[in-house]
Structure 1
Amino acid sequence: MAKKIQRAKGKNFNKPKNYSNHGASKQKIVFKGLDDRLKSVNTDLGKDVKKTLMARSRELWMGSPLATGALKKLRTSVIGSGLRLKSTIDNSILGLSDKEKQQVENQIENVFKLWAETTQCDIQRTSNFYQIQQLAFLTSLIDGECFVLMPFKKRPGEIFELKIQLIESERCMTPPEEQNNNKIKNGVELDEDNCPVAYHFCDDPYTLSKKTFRRVEAFGNITGRRNVLMILEKERIGQQRGIPILAPVIETLLQLGRYTHSELTAAVVSSYFTVFIENENENKDGGFGEPIEENQEKDFSSKNIEMGPATVTELSPGQKINLANPTRPNTAFDGFVKAMAIQIGAALELPHDVLLSKFDSSYSASRAALLEAWKMYRMRRSWMIADFCNPIFAEFMDEAVARGFIKAPQYFKNPLIRQAYLNCKWYGATQGQIDPLKEVTAAKIRIETGLSTKSREIMELYGDDYNEVMAQSKIEKEGIDA
């Protein structure tokens, strides 16, 4: 017994696992064809790889219903009609009274609306701030990123000079003369800390003649102002360019589209009712059908025979039709598409119920699917706010305060005070309600138990501003009492 205990003590129970016979096996057939080489993120996203992913992602956006639906659903749920500003200045630093704080916040929001709700914020003068949000976010999904410039341009009849200029992803590329410069990766110039210092944009990447490039510094040398914004989702350390959100499911979407097209074609052919007339009457010349004139074409193989709805087609002498039964509609089609939608939705963080907009389960299951999707929507909305809305709002505030449209003492003299004035929140489309009665009851309980506030619940349920709702309620109540 003592010897057994001694042998047990000598045994190494914490011996590391040997993966060479499992996930790292070089002999198993299942791993044949996999690329086992480790490569840097910039190598994985080389210019050819990046361009190919973008081109295929755009093709799916234009031609795949499932891909188009997924991207539009993301855009509608994350941005909706636009992320709206709610100023929440930090009064612990500014030390204003409650009334003064409310007045300053209202002033900031009202002046911002004058700029955001008109097309003067757009360099192309075609979209307002909220429409630009949608386009920037959708571009980042399709291409993997969206570049944003914030130039100042004075135009007749416009109050503000700050403009927003969106730049397509393919315009950012390394100039030919800088191909051997290790500090420029896919058009992004980096310093020793791997921090972007400049971006190289091609004026016309599609021209066949010599391309012209423009170098735009990421930050101003004197003011430190951000000249270029970049909306992207980083997946690896040191990543400087974005990856289209459809990249992991490009092949699946493409093959599913082809399969769907084949099933549709088969169903259409199966629905045709075509009558073929076979002419087997022998004429006096020993042939079939009508006698053939000397100048008439004798080769009947070139005759075009087509099927169509309620079509009557006469065959040439000697020809017969042998049709294969397509047996459509395919009863397994719906189940297969659903199975593929589950996998595609898993990669996009969209439950298949939400992806297909098909809620045929119970209330609990449908709500669980919406809640799962809403987690992803909130995350992407917070990224959009951090990468796009907040930096642009800061530039707007700088101009508005400098020109006296907004009164903010010590704004430019004290960076801490400036940041206090820039404190804000952004609200957009709400989650939606399957059963409004249950949702409102739950909101009421949260307010009564102190777990939430009226302002937050109004924003979460309807996307409205609490002050505006209360002001309108007061007006309506006074009208009823009168």
Structure 2
Amino acid sequence: MNGLVDATGRPISTARMVPGASRDAGAFRDPISGWHGPQVHSPQAAARERTVMQRRAGDLAANDWAAGSALDAISMNAVGTGLLPKATIPADMLGISAEEASAIGKRMEWAWSRWVLESDVRGMCHFHDLQLLGIRSMLAQGELLHLALMLDERERQSLGRLFSFALQAVRPQRLQTPADLQTDPAVRDGVRMSSSGRPEGYYIANPAASPQDAFCNIEALSSADFSYIPTRAAHRRLVFHLFRHETEEQVRGVTTFAKGISLFRNLSDALNYELFAQVIAATFPVFIATESGQPPLPQADDGDENEGAERYHEVRPGGVYYGDLNQKPYPLESKRPSANFTSFVEIILRAMAASQGIPYETLAKDYSKTNYSSMRAALNEAWKLYNYYRQWFARSYCQPIWEMVMEEAVLRGYVSLPSSAPDFYAARELWCNASWIGPARGFVDPVKEIQAVVMALQHNLMTYGEAWGERGGDWDEGSDTILHEAPKLRRIVEAKPAQNPVTATGRNGIAPESAQADEEEKA
């Protein structure tokens, strides 16, 4: 018989527990005896906590330099000037030729280039601007909230638009649970959920305009002041509510500053206080007091003995102030910051950068202590985060919008499909297949990095499309341009090199060959 047996040959039972080591992480022993791990026990408490968190994060994004630097670093590298689509229609799966697929793809990209100009329903933003606005909202507020609208035909024609489809950017704070639905278990933090936890619709605050708007409490609004928008209408998305999922059963987003929000706020306050101390010390006011004579006797009545004495609550640079009798001046000397202030701030900044997943150099814009190897390693680590956001944003936001634009382009006749191929709706995923190209990452050492790309191409470790994509370019467009430039480059190479202008002309400004030819012609 296999397994553990006792002296009588019977199996040893493991049903009864024997003593084992106790783990400090789950015990209440010093120094973490008071750490119970705060919990949120209701959707209402979670909503209140998220609301406060969004307010604090919004304040950081608006006023804190370090928070702004982190937002710029992630959003500019992940999205930057915008993600560009490259139609990649699988010709073999649709039963068409590669030339037909390429021609249809170019037509789709042309239709897209027209729509991005009118993507904003307010007519104020390019689609690339909406991308950057969306990723910044997702980082700072924790979530993106855009509505997909279809303008009626009369409005489309009056505005001179090619497409009816447009996007409306909405502040996530509008997504709330109406006051009269607080006890509805199917509504969680402004989102109506199905029995399986799928979002079915969103309650977006839309109260009527009133002179009393300044006193409006959005949390006290009833359902009449909200617009309920379903998540989808058939296969089309009506609401783009996107956030980074960090926990199971998550309904609303969490700001990227959540893990280090106290670091950002406390460092900002510390720097402000240190700077203010230096400002006060730099004013160096001169306070002159008269020490001779006797102080006056107190009055017989109950009047204030300090009545008539002048008190200074504000000083100006270089001011001269005269005090009362027996008052001595004390010069304002600043002994701050301490000698280790710089290193202390650097440690805090490194912790803040780590909480955002970016290098210290990127957050602080300090490259004074960086060499090529360390900077290259830091950028490689940072680009893992940038690429994550880029791919997540492309598949969750850009690709569904591309499909909606292409659907309208086909219906309006801007893009024609072969009659022998499957219908658009029968093979929508195939017709709308696309890859997304983002801004190129910068060079640390251009020579070394370009040599690495060339070697990868030579050894078939990288395709030309991947190489151009890393640089933010399109291989198909680039190759067409190269073929167009090739004849000109060939003529330049074959042309004779230009001669030195001093030796190429004679004293009279005529080339020696030309002068000799003229003489031979005369002879």
Give the structure-2-normalised TM-score: 0.80
1:342 to 341, 350, 354: 350
What's 1:150 paired with? 148
Structure showing greater Rg: 2
Cα offset for 1:229?
1.3
Partner of 1:74: 74
| Distance (Å, rounded) in 1 between the aligned partners of 2:196 and 2:313 | 69
Q: Distance in 2 between matches of 1:357 and 1:91?
A: 47
CA contact (8 A) 1:57 1:250 kept: yes
Secondary structure of the equivalent of 2:329? coil
2:326 to 318, 323, 327: 318
Which amino acid in the other structure matches residue 159 of structure 1?
L
Counterpart residue type for residue 447 of structure 2: L
Alignment of 1:112-123 (within 5 A): 112-116=112-116, 118=117, 120-123=118-121
Residue 378 (structure 1) aligned to one of 361, 379, 387:
387
Q: Secondary structure at 2:25's aligned position in 1?
A: coil
| Alignment partner, residue 330 of structure 1 | 338
The answer to whether the 8 Å contact 2:289/2:327 transfers is yes
Equivalent of 1:253 in 264, 270, 277 = 264
Residue pair 1:354, 1:373 contacting (<8 A) in 2 also: no
Relative to 1, partners in 2 of residues 1:327 and 1:403: Cα closer, same or farther, differing over 3 Å?
Answer: same
Q: State the partner residue of 1:26.
A: 28
Amino acid in structure 2 at the alignment position of 1:58: G
Residues 192 and 201 in structure 2, CA contact (< 8 A), matched pair in contact too: yes
- Give the alignment of 1:337-416 within 5 angstroms: 337-359=345-367, 360-409=369-418, 413=423, 415=425
More divergent stretch after superposition (470-479 vs 81-90): 470-479
Q: Deviations 1:401-424 (Å, cap 9, x if unpaired)?
A: 010101124788464522111111
1:86 is matched with: 86
Which among 155, 178, 181 is matched to residue 181 of structure 2?
A: 178
CA shift at 1:373, angstroms? 0.6
CA distance in 2, matches of 1:467, 1:33: 59
What residue number does 1:233 align with?
244
Give 3-state SS (helix, strand or coil) of 2:203's partner: strand
CA distance in 1, matches of 2:346, 2:186: 46
Equivalent in 214, 218, 232 of residue 227 of structure 2: 214
| 1:291 corresponds to | none
- In the alignment, which residue of structure 2 is the partner of 1:194? 197
Distance 2:449 2:125 in 1: 35
Change (3 A) 1:148 1:36: closer
Give 1:376's aligned amino acid.
L
CA contact (8 A) 1:270 1:326 kept: yes
Aligned partners of 2:178 and 2:221 also within 8 Å: no
Shift of the alpha carbon at 1:478?
3.8
Quick one: distance in 2 between partners of 1:26 and 1:39? 22
Kindly tell me: are residues 70 and 115 of structure 1, through their superposed partners in 2, closer, same or farther at Cα, counting changes over 3 Å? same
**Kindly, what percent of the aligned residue pairs are identical?**
25
Counterpart residue identity of residue 340, structure 1: I
> Quick check: 467-476 or 203-212, which moved more?
203-212
What is residue 139 of structure 1 aligned with on the other side? 137
SS in 1 for 2:166: coil
Encode CA deviations 1:108-138: one digit per residue, 9 max, x unaligned: 111110111x1x2111110010000011111
Task: Summarize the Cα distance change of 1:166–1:99 in structure 2 as closer, same or farther, 3 Å threshold.
Answer: same
Counterpart code for 1:322: Y
Q: Which residue of 2 aligns with 1:279?
A: 290
1:163 is paired with a residue of what secondary structure?
Answer: strand
Aligned partners of 2:281 and 2:332 also within 8 Å: no
Cα RMSD between the aligned structures? 2.9
SS at match of 1:23: helix
Q: Distance in 2 between matches of 1:458 and 1:115?
A: 25
2:105 matches 1:96? no
Counterpart in 1 of 2:513? none
* CA deviations over 1:273-294 (Å, ceiling 9, x no partner): 4333333465xxx669xxxxxx
1:217 and 1:379, CA in 2 relative to 1: closer, same or farther beyond 3 A?
same
Looking at structure 2, the residues matched to 402 and 150 of structure 1 have their Cα atoms a distance apart, in angstroms, of: 18
Aligned partner of 2:460 in structure 1 is 450
